[in-house]
Structure 1
Amino acid sequence: MLTRLTVAFAFSCLSCHLFAQAQQIIIETSQSALVLTVGGNQRVLQSYLGRKLAPAAYAALTGGREVYLTAGMDNQFEPAIRLVHNDGNPSLELKYVSHKTTREHDLTQTDIVLKDPVYPVEVTLHYTAYQNSGVIKSWADILHREKKPVMLTQYASALLHFNSEEYWLTQFHGDWAREVNMVEEKLTNGIKTLESKLGTRTNFYQTQAFFLSLNGKSSETAGELIAGTLAWTGNFQYTFEVDQRNGLRVRSGINAYASEYYLAPGETFTTPAFIFTWTDQGKGQASRNLHTWARNFGVLDGKGPRLTLLNNWEATHTSFNETRLTELFDEGKKLGIDLFLLDDGWFGNAFPRNDDKAGLGDWQEDKKKLPSGLGYLVKEAEKKSIKFGIWLEPEMVNPKSELYQKHPEWILKLPNREENYGRNQLVLDLVNPQVQDFVFAVVDDMMTKNPGIAFIKWDCNRSMTNAYSPYLKEKQSHLYIAYTQGLYKVMERIRAKYPHLPIMLCAGGGGRTDYGAMKYFTEFWPSDNTDGLERIFIQWGYSYFFPSNTISAHVTSMGKLQSLKFRTDVAMMGKMGYDIRVNNFTPQELQFSQEAVKTYKRISETVWFGNLYRLISPYEESRAVLMYVSENKSKAILFNYQLHTRRKDLFGRVQLQGLDPQKKYRFREINLFPDTKSINPDNNKVLTGEYLMNIGLNLAPGRIAPLSSNIFELTEE
């Protein structure tokens, strides 16, 4: 952020002279450049977005389109900002006043001040360029000094302009248990909108990330495009507007639906950051750019270790007691995991949490299930040399709860309508500071009493309906924005006191997957669908925008036609864990799983921090192949999944990517089931990177079994 950027550019006399001549503002990464020009009317224009060029090339750029279009003046298209003044005038003009650029290590930040020449309104556009990853982050501060509040009805984070022959949009949509389905379509004249109005669990139907390919479709390895996502855990909106001359404007930000914002004099409205990367090397390079950025800047402890856990949900659901749980500790120890996670059902006394109909809000241990309390479980887990974690859903409340009875004014619900439930629950009013205190105390009290708790799964199982905040009273249009800000205030307090406590972000599966939240969380739960075949597609979709150490992937019993090895191999391409009854394993399955945990811990550094190359897409063939390559190219892990193959399917050789052509690699299959051997003809051979990337490998020798898989390790010799 700006407060951390303390070293200012020292502009030379020559560079000052060039600026005076060209009135240009150049925002660069190691790969790309965004060039803005101050026009003769003092409006700031976008003149260029593309490959980084020599400085002399930028000097020839002139003109462009307004970088933060306003409403009410001469603009005829979707505005970045619309503001209504005290006198009812709905117009705004923003003219250049000044800009400054500061640097710190990998970051370059540019801040551009714009003002209206008639009204005391000021907008500051911020751009942070991350040099090494090729990512740019854009947001705006809106401030005024009129005598009374002004009304904001649009407030974009960014507006980007493009001029290409054609545009192809890749979006990701879904539903519970079928998240991030990928769809690509050509944009035509008019407006295409991707948005959410759900308030909480906002990614339920539409993932807030996209690819925009220019001048034709992009592949994994070729094509010009941007990849974009919004750092906001609330309602979002992207509009893609193709005009009569085939120009495209991409507007990104908070969805202004039902969210007119009354900005007080002297108050600053800060939009969330739009995060994007430009590349002309296809979707694969865009992903690697975002992954590098995320591990360094976007995710809490993004370069730190992760815990391999065993969850009790599939083994017990909400029916358990202390004895049953300590038995599962033994299973966890037998398996070799790091942590046991106690899921839903451990709380509530007046209204015990025996199903999803009661108890939310009453975060005390159920005395019948857990008479000795959480502290006993923490100590028992420690005796088994494993850590203990806990499930929470602190933003929610069941009507059957003591909290609901004591504080009806803490709940989002319409005052004169019937309550509308999702999963038998309602949403707490996080706009209210008292509710924020309560939610913080849920975590703080639990951690204070039980400091050995080493992990939290933070769930959010419903979106907002019939939403009304008793706290806001007449300012109901602030609800959606203020709720998300309230969530962030709670998380800031938690992280101030517990800066490195691992917390998984969950929302009925993948209902919250965004970089606004991920700066407070270490990982997220992509989907409640843990079927191995389905998870290949789900994890594939998330991999476009999130690094593998954030994508939790558990081995479960879902997908019973699939072997344990297949389900394990699928989980290994993400952040692996278990949610399964280990005592139901056969001796061979137990031996395999014990070795799999050891193998995963050994290869996890490459999987978590390596560069991802998606080689064969499950959307294009009845198989999926991907690989992770370490930064120094000395190691790689290759995943090969056969899907629903037909008897006579023929698959060609797979050319690997990201290796050093001059290096020699030993190619070896790992994670084999006991008493089986690799049938790959190249197993244990030493091959050059040049051979592997140009000739490739036969990963489907002999008859192909459907729903089978292989993991291969490549190690520099």
Structure 2
Amino acid sequence: KKAVTLYRYDSSLLHITGEKYYLTEFSGDWAREVNMTEQPLAFGKKILDTKLGSRANMFCSPFFLLSLDKAAEENSGEILFGTIAWTGNFHFTFEIDQQNRLRILSGINPYASEYSLLPGEIFRTPEFIFTYSMEGKGKASRDFHRWARKYQLKDGEKPRLTLLNNWEATGFNFNEEKLVTIMDEAVKLGVDMFLLDDGWFGNKYPRNSDRQGLGDWGVTTAKLPNDIEKLTQEASKRGIKFGLWIEPEMVNPRSELYEQHKDWVIRLPNRKEYYFRNQMVLDLSNPKVQNFVFGIVDNLMKKYPGIAYFKWDCNSPITNIYSPYLKDKQSHLYIEHVRGLYNILERVKQKYPDVPMMLCSGGGGRSDYKALSYFTEFWPR
């Protein structure tokens, strides 16, 4: 009959009894991701978590491997392999008590996220996904991948497109002629698709660097006077597909979007703004922002039906943590932001079910199995 406040909302609690416990975690940073580190667990708590929000697993990946009684081996031993299906802050807590019993708590990280649940509302926790192997980590990994391809990853059992991306060749410095030349190279290589990466948009603030233009999704006429349509036609002439990079959840302060809709940006009203890669995060808890982000994909597909693929990037964690939309419910932000992202991705999936998308986050800063239900692959670095 009254609202209740949730302070913790774990997805699972596992109890395990063994003589010894060995935990493998996966951590790293840009261009050196997913480094495996194994350590024995002892009395007390070991926590793996993230508080980064959007680019949640930039430093700590959302999965773990637990070996019982001995260090993990490839083809023998008892192994628990677990992950959480949540594209935001998560935690795994491993606690050994005085009787050497282990319990594992997994779920959304409750950091700064007290949640007020009104009468009749439902709070659904994300799935904890795990497998158990009696034949070492090799079988655990294979079983996990087999399950993911069949049940979780979008189009998991269909072939993937090979592609050539212009980014490493040109960065932001390209024009139509250069891109068409790279398409010719794609044909020589025998790949399926040419992908145009960052730098194709913005006119008042042309996207000639990562310092401006993000959020303004009009084609830069100085670089591409004949528009994206010309590029899709050139790709089609060569018998290859055309893909396009977008980063629709983000904005540069130096952009028309920021000038017109500062209230759509996650930013503290009384503090100096902090930028990660010269950008900020749009407030996906706001339905108007959700419509805008969906509209980026929708408008591009309507205007350029020759687009066959999107590389969806997310280069920044959430900084300046304050939602103008949520007002007095700021502790809901980390959760409602992720729910807003899922609303957008579900709309894209429903309207364009046959358009594959790559999940990129400065590399593999997002690689959870919930997000991968909307994407055909992710980009590790």
TM tier relative to shorter chain = over 0.9
Please tell me the residue identity of whatever aligns with 2:47.
T
Which residue of the partner structure matches residue 142 of structure 1? none
1:270 aligns with 2:124: yes
Deviation of 1:418 after TM superposition, in Å, equals 0.3
Deviation of 1:333 after TM superposition, in Å, equals 1.1
Q: Which runs of 5+ in 2 are unaligned?
A: none
Please tell me the residue identity of whatever aligns with 1:456.
F
Which residue of the partner structure matches residue 281 of structure 2? 427
Please tell me the residue identity of whatever aligns with 2:285.
V
1: CA distance, partners of 2:251 / 2:145:
35
Indicate conservation of the 8 Å contact 2:30/2:362, yes or no. Answer: yes
Secondary structure of the structure 1 residue equivalent to 2:231: helix
Indicate conservation of the 8 Å contact 1:301/1:500, yes or no. Answer: no
1:488 aligns with 2:363: no
Deviation of 1:227 after TM superposition, in Å, equals 0.1
1:387 aligns with 2:235: no
Q: Which runs of 5+ in 1 are unaligned?
A: 1-146, 528-717
Deviation sequence 1:370-410 (CA, Å, 0-9, x none) = 11111111011100111100000000000110000000000
Secondary structure of the structure 2 residue equivalent to 1:464: coil
1:223 corresponds, among 72, 77, 80, to 77
Which residue of the partner structure matches residue 458 of structure 1? 312
1: CA distance, partners of 2:145 / 2:250:
32
Secondary structure of the structure 1 residue equivalent to 2:81: strand
Which residue of the partner structure matches residue 290 of structure 2? 436
2: CA distance, partners of 1:359 / 1:191:
45
Which residue of the partner structure matches residue 373 of structure 2? 519
2: CA distance, partners of 1:496 / 1:458:
17
1:199 aligns with 2:48: no
Which residue of the partner structure matches residue 651 of structure 1? none
Secondary structure of the structure 2 residue equivalent to 1:361: coil
1:363 aligns with 2:217: yes
Indicate conservation of the 8 Å contact 2:192/2:240, yes or no. Answer: yes
Which residue of the partner structure matches residue 413 of structure 1? 267
2: CA distance, partners of 1:500 / 1:480:
30
How is 1:140-289 mapped onto 2 (pairs within 5 angstroms)? Answer: 147-289=1-143
Higher mean C-alpha displacement, 315-324 vs 356-365: 315-324
Deviation of 1:510 after TM superposition, in Å, equals 1.2
Which residue of the partner structure matches residue 308 of structure 1? 162
Please tell me the residue identity of whatever aligns with 2:9.
Y
Bigger relative CO (Cα 8 Å, ≥ 6 apart)? 2
2: CA distance, partners of 1:308 / 1:173:
28
1: CA distance, partners of 2:274 / 2:72:
44
Secondary structure of the structure 2 residue equivalent to 1:270: coil
* RMSD of aligned Cα (Å): 0.6
Which residue of the partner structure matches residue 345 of structure 1? 199
1: CA distance, partners of 2:256 / 2:134:
57
1: CA distance, partners of 2:140 / 2:107:
20
Which residue of the partner structure matches residue 252 of structure 2? 398
Indicate conservation of the 8 Å contact 1:456/1:504, yes or no. Answer: yes
Which residue of the partner structure matches residue 653 of structure 1? none
1: CA distance, partners of 2:168 / 2:239:
23
1: CA distance, partners of 2:73 / 2:136:
5
1:507 aligns with 2:364: no
Deviation sequence 1:130-174 (CA, Å, 0-9, x none) = xxxxxxxxxxxxxxxxx2210000101100001111110000111
Please tell me the residue identity of whatever aligns with 1:511.
G
1: CA distance, partners of 2:108 / 2:89:
6
Deviation of 1:176 after TM superposition, in Å, equals 1.2
Q: Structure 2-normalised TM-score?
A: 0.99
Deviation sequence 1:526-550 (CA, Å, 0-9, x none) = 11xxxxxxxxxxxxxxxxxxxxxxx
1: CA distance, partners of 2:314 / 2:211:
15
Deviation of 1:442 after TM superposition, in Å, equals 0.1
Deviation of 1:336 after TM superposition, in Å, equals 1.2
Secondary structure of the structure 1 residue equivalent to 2:11: strand
1:323 corresponds, among 166, 177, 196, to 177
1:449 aligns with 2:314: no
Deviation of 1:298 after TM superposition, in Å, equals 1.1
Alignment length (residue pairs): 381
How is 1:125-140 mapped onto 2 (pairs within 5 angstroms)? Answer: none
Please tell me the residue identity of whatever aligns with 1:379.
Q
Please tell me the residue identity of whatever aligns with 1:160.
L
2: CA distance, partners of 1:509 / 1:361:
20
2:188 corresponds, among 325, 329, 334, to 334
Please tell me the residue identity of whatever aligns with 2:309.
F
Deviation of 1:226 after TM superposition, in Å, equals 0.5
Deviation of 1:516 after TM superposition, in Å, equals 1.1
Which residue of the partner structure matches residue 470 of structure 1? 324
Please tell me the residue identity of whatever aligns with 1:248.
L
1: CA distance, partners of 2:98 / 2:245:
52
How much identity, in percent, do the aligned residues show?
A: 60
1: CA distance, partners of 2:187 / 2:363:
27
Deviation of 1:218 after TM superposition, in Å, equals 2.3
Indicate conservation of the 8 Å contact 2:281/2:319, yes or no. Answer: no
Deviation of 1:500 after TM superposition, in Å, equals 2.2
Deviation of 1:466 after TM superposition, in Å, equals 1.7
Deviation of 1:316 after TM superposition, in Å, equals 0.8
Please tell me the residue identity of whatever aligns with 1:393.
E
Q: Structure 1-normalised TM-score?
A: 0.53
1: CA distance, partners of 2:249 / 2:64:
28
Secondary structure of the structure 2 residue equivalent to 1:420: coil
Secondary structure of the structure 2 residue equivalent to 1:213: strand
Secondary structure of the structure 1 residue equivalent to 2:9: strand
2: CA distance, partners of 1:208 / 1:492:
22
Deviation of 1:256 after TM superposition, in Å, equals 0.2
2: CA distance, partners of 1:346 / 1:379:
16
